[in-house]
Structure formats: structure tokens, C-alpha cells
């Protein structure tokens, strides 16, 4: 039961932080300007590509280490 409660609390915490961030978006836009927003968007896109690439690498690694993938190697 405690595990479910922690998941619900975490979801509510992330929702609250997201709400605060969206609420402050106009102030952040004024602070960063068009160039700052563009730079952050590019950095976030690069990070997303890196995470996706890591998922592919992990998936291929797990596939290659799976004995069921190599049926003739027995």
C-alpha cells in the first residue's frame, strides 16, 4: 500500500511542478528572450535524441545477450 501511495504522491508532485513551470512561462520567456528559448529547445531536443539512442543501444545489447536470439549457438 505504501508503494501505491508514493506513486500517487510522486505524480501529484510532478503535476504541481509542471503547473508552476507553465505558470511562470511568461516570466521565463521575458527573462530568456527568443534566443534563450531557442537554445533551450535545441538542448532539450539533443537530450531527447541521446535518450532515444541509449534506448536503442540497450535494446540491441539485450537482444544480443538473449540466448533465444541465437538458437544455433547451443
pLDDT (tens digit, 9 = 90+) per residue, 23-68? 999 998 999 999 999 999 999 999 999 999 999 999 999 999 888 8
Do 65 and 59 form a contact (C-beta atoms < 8 A)? Answer: no
Supply the DSSP string of 41-74, one letter for each residue. Answer: HHHHHHHHHHHHHHHHHHHHHHHHT-GGG-GGG-
Tell me, what's the pLDDT at 68? 86
Amino acid at each position: 500500500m505504501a508503494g501505491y501511495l508514493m506513486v500517487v504522491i510522486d505524480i501529484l508532485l510532478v503535476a504541481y511542478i509542471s503547473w508552476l513551470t507553465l505558470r511562470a512561462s511568461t516570466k521565463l520567456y521575458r527573462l530568456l528572450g527568443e534566443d534563450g528559448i531557442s537554445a533551450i529547445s535545441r538542448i532539450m531536443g539533443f537530450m531527447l535524441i541521446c535518450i532515444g539512442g541509449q534506448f536503442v543501444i540497450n535494446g540491441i545489447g539485450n537482444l544480443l545477450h538473449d540466448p533465444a536470439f541465437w538458437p544455433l549457438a547451443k
